[in-house]
Homo-oligomer: A and B are copies of this chain.
Amino acid sequence: MKNIYKLDRPVYIISDASVVGQSEAEGPMGELFDFAIRGDDTFGCDTWEKAESELQRLALSEALAKGLLCDGEIDMILSGDLLNQCIGSAFGLSDFETPFIGLYGACSTAAEGLMLGSLISSAYSARVAAVTSSHNASAERQFRSPLEYGGQRPPTAQWTVTGSGSFILSANIADAQRCAKGDDICIAEILEVCPGRIVDAGINDANNMGAAMAPAAADTIERYFQDGGKMPSLILTGDLGYEGSEILKDILKNRNTDISDVHMDCGLMIYDRKKQDKHSGASGCGCSATVLSAGILKDIRSAQLEDVVFVGTGALMNTMSVQQGMTIPAIAHLVHIKGRAFPGEEKK
């Protein structure tokens, strides 16, 4: 069984974009997102589901614009979301005339898209877009109760991010040079990926997803190191929240791997814990996608971060499986992203 897939031709994240709602705009990363709506999170739509689709449309359009590309100049879009039958993606991206591959990886979708996209981009010289989204209100309506019910959330619950992130991948260095901004020192490149396995730790509390997902993250990180993966400058999980992050570090420590110095979780970065009470942190496909785009990739490009092991985590349940008393299987996909100094030639 192969754990790590090394890319013979590295794949560059040539462009990316993030779109978020009001709570995210008010958080510590607020100034970094490409689009942030203030006022309400409808994005001018008459349903929350349409608003989520609009997030994806905006995020992909902006990433294409930043990459100086139009719809017909990419070869494939990989996308998924949390809504039943992934309608956020289907309706958000139906105007694009590019081949579309639907994914389902729950909150790991950003990592899943980057992983599959880089495997395909590297081997087939394709320009691939990876997109994902979540919307707090559409997720609350579907997974819990409509917001108007005002249900109480326990302390271990995470808050679904209203946001979408999109990434354009290319194995062509000229693409990366063309898209580089004036102050970029490095290009963000994907070197290797490690797909996750389904891990079911027996958790059945849908308000404690962090606990369900941490063992999956531990499994993937452990297999990565066992197969020769090196400790990076940052292990970025998304989204374990406060509870899950501690569990992950504990599990790995018990297996003689201490990641506490290099670990961060996207779920802890997007809201201010003191000013914005979101309980155990952020979650949702849009969380790790927007944090990676708005924060981490900028730090890689400005050479503040050398390399990042991005581990997207997802809980693979639905409301019915929880009602039927089933446990919550989880998964974590890993993408190793590194900053690469511009090669001999100048930026174009």
Contact = CB atoms under 8 A, between A and B. Distances in A.
B85 A317 contact: yes
Interface residues of A, number: 60
B85 A197 contact: no
Copy tally for this chain in the complex stands at 2
A99 B321 contact: no
Interface stretch (A21-29, A100-108, A244-252): A100-108
A103 B100 contact: no
A259 interface: no
A260 interface: no
A324 interface: yes
A225 to B, nearest CB: 16
Contacts of A85: 82, 84, 104, 106, 316-318
Contact of A49 (B2, B101, B122, B321): B321
A112 B106 contact: no
Given A100-B196, A102-B104, A197-B98, A90 B2 contact: no
A320 B104 CA distance: 18
A126 B3 CA distance: 11
A342 to B, nearest CB: 27
A210 interface: no
A331 B49 contact: no
A102 B105 contact: yes
A26 B195 CA distance: 40
Interface string A260-282: 00000000000000000000000
Contact of A99 (B86, B90, B195): B195
A94 B201 CA distance: 11
Interface string A163-207: 000000000000000000000000000000011111010000000
A249 B38 CA distance: 49
Interface string A43-71: 00001011000000000000000000000
Given A76-B195, A102-B331, 5 more contacts: A5-B126, A84-B319, A87-B320, A96-B197, A101-B103
29 contacts: A1-B73, A1-B74, A1-B98, A47-B324, A76-B195, A80-B104, A84-B318, A84-B319, A85-B316, A85-B317, A85-B318, A87-B321, A90-B329, A91-B321, A91-B326, A91-B329, A96-B198, A98-B197, A99-B197, A100-B195, A100-B331, A101-B112, A102-B106, A102-B112, A104-B104, A119-B120, A119-B123, A120-B120, A123-B123
